[in-house]
Amino acid sequence: MAKTKVLERKPLTFSEKTYIPQIASGLAATFVNMFKKSVTLEYPEVRPVIPENYRGVPTLVKDPKGRVKCVSCQLCEFVCPPKAIRIKPSEIVDEESDRAHIEKEPAAFDINMLRCIYCGLCQEVCPEEAIFLQDSFSLSGYTREEMVFGKEKLLKLGGTLPDNHFKWDKKKSAEENTEKDH
Amino acid sequence: MGEVKEVSVGDIGSRAAEADPEFKAETMALNVGPSHPSTHGVLRLMMQLDGDLIKECEPVIGYLHRGDEKIAENMTYNQFIPYTDRLDYLAPLSNNVAYAMAVEKLANLEVPDRCQAIRVICCELARISSHLLGVGVYGMDAGSWTVFMYTFTEREKLYTLFEELTGARFTTSYTRIGGVARDIPDGWLGRVDTFCKGVLPILNQVDKMLTRNRIFMDRTVGIGVISKEKALSYGMTGPNLRAAGVDLDLRKDKPYLGYENYDFEVPIGLNGDCYDRYLMRAEEIKQSVGIIRQVIGSFPEGPYYAEDAKKIFAPPKDKILTSMEELIQNFMLVTEGPQMPKGEVYFEAENPKGSLGFYVVSKGGGVPYRMKIRGPSFCNLSILSELLPGHFLTDITVILGSLDFVMGECDR
Ligand code: SF4
Ligand code: SF4
């Protein structure tokens, strides 16, 4: 059977019954704490330290060459438990881009921040590392519409993150190499 | 409570009523809650009072019902994890672990040692944070604001640790079926150890302020006594049951996550009153600190998720980005969910509030056919209609505080 420890209790001593030791130790605690460093922060003047990998507001990011990484595979839209994401996929319309008519990009990408629970599942499933929960954590707005963040706003919030893979560039150069071989 | 009844107005009233029905004192209906600071959430109590004495009490629950069990049927196993945070929202990590373990039991999947060790630390830290809150708020309910300040300062440090580990302070969503969301950050174990060192002196401080404090004792000793039999017949679990003197602790009785390898004691109470329930939580924090230290001392190396469970746990991100096979695997996992065999399982874990159970029925595939959640707070609260009558109105705060329930889990 389980190894247990019985919680005994002793009757109060005479001095304890007079309340005096407790009052004295209470006052002592107050006195000691007056000289301790305060544990609270003067938010919002002083900001808390946000650790790496914090799950704040979800944002869309660009790669270092300034291209939108999202290919609108809609996996994040599918996984999002409160269904906060709405995506309208489209082809890349910018004819200048080397990815035009090949890869896709979202025509519209809305996250309803009033529904989002910052769970991080979208970041976890994204096969392009295009959506990241970054370190901003306090959002506010005057209307509900304002809190549905569109693609431009999400990209602005997200900024550019370093990329270790350059998936597209590798694919492109591999294709060019095979073309040369033929 | 015998001697209290002697002097109560209620009794004089009932004696007078016996002599002459004309004198029958009227009882007063009093409603407490659903939003009342001492009901810790949205519990509502409907009472009949005779003077200050509670004659009848009917708890009304369901104000925080969100239909979690039904929600679970409409999403994959992994998508439900954020919802488990919101059961016992004071110890989300241990809910995450209990849920993941239930589904893993269905899949018959063993997670690697390192993952188990991480989960044990998570569970025990969650227990500490929940009990710190329990003791602090209980102290505050009984009139000791200082204790609350001390325990909340410590709890804040814990939340910083959770934030580092999981990315969120409150809604951790940390486990996944077959593992955990990410490995522990560098140096995190060291910081956990520092926290463990720091929490013990604070506990001593709290001990000095409450344990031998006559004011606190006057308000809690002999109040809200729950006998062994009562506790068992109402299906109570956790610290409240152990305070009544039953040594049921699933970590010892049905060990999971390798709890059998750690050396710890299960405190049990002798009287089952409010004071015992306070002693219980304070002692459990110390035991949890002991367990965490043992885990840190023998922290295993290796993967933090079940690598061979390809149909259950997503492949590492690097692979998804570079290889076709893993990319497809990722797509399948997200859209179809982790693949489970047909069957039914029940798993319960010793959570801070009691045993949290998940009953999962699967017809195969990645979505549960039916899920039932056994919330310990629900059972622990069901005793209120029997426990409160015979006490004074002022005792309600103390009794509710000592039961340490959380409505998120009671109403689900
Ligand atoms: S953000 Fe990622 S997961 Fe979402 S649509 Fe874009 S590429 Fe797919
Ligand atoms: S963080 Fe969670 S809730 Fe928010 S958009 Fe991503 S998946 Fe949806």
pLDDT for position B18: 67
Looking at residue B15, its pLDDT comes to 62
User: How far A36 CA sits from the closest chain B CA (Å)?
Assistant: 13
A–B interface: beta-carbon pairs under 8 A:
124
Task: Tell me the H-state helices in A35-87.
Answer: 75-79
Among the ranges given (B2-16, B57-71, B289-303), the one the predictor scored with the smallest mean pLDDT: B2-16
Q: What is the pLDDT of residue A168?
A: 67
Name the pLDDT band for A23 (thresholds 50, 70, 90): confident
Residue A18 included in any domain: no
- My answer on whether omega of the bond before B34 falls inside 30° of 0, hence cis, is yes
DSSP string, B202-260: HHHHHHHHHTT-HHHHHHHTTSS---HHHHHHTT--THHHHHTT----HHHHS--TTGG
Nearest-CA distance from A21 to chain B in Å? 9
Q: What's the whole-number mean pLDDT along residues B5-9?
A: 49
Which ligand has the nearest atom to the CA of A118? 2
**Per-residue pLDDT at B253:** 85
How sure is the predictor about B7, in pLDDT bands with cuts at 50, 70 and 90? very low
- Copy the structure tokens of residue B226: 């729950």
Among A80-89, A107-116, B162-171, B310-319, the range scoring the smallest mean pLDDT is B310-319
Say yes or no for a CB contact (<8 Å) between A29 and B335: no
For residues B157 and A3, the model is more confident at B157
Selected for mutation to probe chain A from B202, B216, B334, B336 (highest A CB count within 10 Å) is B334
**In the predicted model, is pLDDT for residue B118 greater than 70?**
yes
| A42-46, B269-273, B317-321: least confidently modelled range | B317-321
Q: A129 pLDDT band (50/70/90 cuts)?
A: confident
Considering the domain boundaries, does residue A83 fall inside one?
Answer: yes
Say what the pLDDT of residue B308 is.
80
Q: How does residue B254 score in pLDDT terms, banded at 50, 70 and 90?
A: confident
Cα three-residue angle B65-B68-B71, rounded to 5 degrees: 130
Question: Atom 3 in ligand 1: which residue has the minimum CA distance?
Answer: A126
Report in angstroms the alpha-carbon separations of B59 from B27, B32, B42, B380. Answer: 18, 9, 11, 12
For residue A111, how far is its CA from the centre of ligand 2 (angstroms)? Answer: 8
Question: Is the per-residue pLDDT at B5 higher than 50?
Answer: no
Sequential DSSP letters for B285-302? HHHHHHHHHHHHHT---S
Q: How near does any CA of chain A get to the CA of B29, in Å?
A: 36
CATH number assigned to the domain comprising residue A70:
3.30.70.3270
| Omega within 30 of 0 (cis) for the link into A44 | yes
Q: Please state which of the ranges A73-82, B279-288, B301-310 shows the lowest mean pLDDT.
A: B301-310
Predicted confidence band at B289 (pLDDT cuts at 50, 70, 90)? very high
- What's the whole-number mean pLDDT along residues A78-105? 79
Is there a domain that residue A142 lies in?
yes
Is A45 domain-assigned? no
A3 touches chain B (CB under 8 A): yes
Q: Which of B163, B217, B327 lies closest to A54 in CB terms?
A: B163
Which A residues, 68 through 127, put their C-beta within 8 Å of a C-beta on chain B?
Answer: 75, 78-79, 81, 117-121, 124-125, 127
Ligand nearest to the CA of A151: 1
Q: Which of the four pLDDT bands, split at 50, 70 and 90, describes residue B361? A: very high
Distance from CA of A8 to the nearest CA of B (A): 7
- Which residues are within 8 A (CB) of A136 and not within 5 positions of it... i.e. 6 or more apart? A56, A57, A157
pLDDT at site B183? 86
CA distance B404 to B240: 8
- Which residues on chain B are in Cβ contact (under 8 Å) with A167? 321-322
* Distance of CA B330 from the midpoint of ligand 2 (Å): 17
> Which residue, by CA, sits nearest to atom 4 of ligand 1?
A76
Q: Note down the domain range covering A105.
A: 58-161
B19-41 residue pLDDT tens:
666 656 678 888 887 887 777 77
CB B64 within 8 A of CB B411: yes
Report CB contact under 8 Å: A79, B79: yes
Length of chain A: 182
DSSP class per residue in B79-139: GGHHHHHTSSTTSHHHHHHHHHHHHHHHHT-PPPHHHHHHHHHHHHHHHHHHHHHHHHHHH
Query: Among all residues of chain B, which has the CA nearest to that of A5?
Result: B267
Are B353 and B366 in contact by the 8 Å Cβ rule? The answer is: no
- A29 C-beta neighbours (distance < 10 Å), count: 17
Check residues A158 and B237 and name the one with the higher pLDDT: B237
- Return the sign of the alpha-carbon dihedral for residues B158, B159, B165, B171: positive
CB contact (8 A) between residue A4 and residue B247: yes
% of chain A residues with pLDDT over 90:
3
Q: Mean pLDDT across the stretch A44-70?
A: 85
Question: Residue B295's closest CA among B176, B119, B101?
Answer: B119
CA A9 distance to own-chain centroid: 48
User: Sheet holding B340-351: strands in order across?
Assistant: B340-351, B354-365, B370-374
Q: How many domains does chain A have?
A: 1
Smallest Cα–Cα separation from B411: which of B103, B71, B86?
B86
Q: Is B267 helix (H, G, I), strand (E, B) or coil?
A: strand
B44 to chain A, closest Cα gap in Å: 28
pLDDT bin (cut points 50, 70, 90) of residue B12 is: low
Ligand 1 near A103 CB (within 6 A) = no
CB atoms within 10 A of CB B161: 20
Asked if the Cβ–Cβ distance from A7 to B279 is below 8 Å, we say: yes
Q: Of the candidates B92, B99, B245, B87, which has an alpha carbon nearest to the alpha carbon of residue B163?
A: B92
CA of B230 to the centre of ligand 2 (A): 44
Q: Which of A7, A53, A120 sits opposite B270 (nearest CB)?
A: A7
Work out the pLDDT band at A101, boundaries 50, 70, 90.
low
Percent above pLDDT 90 for chain B: 15
Structure confidence at residue B345 (pLDDT): 92
A161 to chain B, any CB pair closer than 8 A? The answer is no
Residue A50 within a domain: no
Q: Is the ipTM of this complex over 0.90?
A: no
For ligand 1, is residue A84 a contact (CB within 6 Å)? no
With a cut of 70, say whether residue A143 has pLDDT above it. yes
Q: Is residue A16 part of a domain?
A: no
Q: What average pLDDT does chain B have?
A: 85
B158 alpha carbon to ligand 2 midpoint, in Å? Answer: 25
Q: Above 70 in pLDDT, residue B2? A: no
pLDDT band at residue B360, thresholds of 50, 70 and 90? very high
Query: Is A53's CB within 8 Å of B253's CB?
Result: no
Average pLDDT, chain A: 81
Closest atom, ligand 1, to C-alpha of A125: 3
Whole-model pTM?
Answer: 0.86
Nearest residue on chain A to B337, judged by CA atoms? A79
Does residue A32 fall inside a structural domain?
Answer: no
Model confidence at B124, pLDDT cuts 50, 70, 90, reads: very high
For residue A36, tell me if it sits in a domain: no
> Is B143's pLDDT higher than 60?
yes
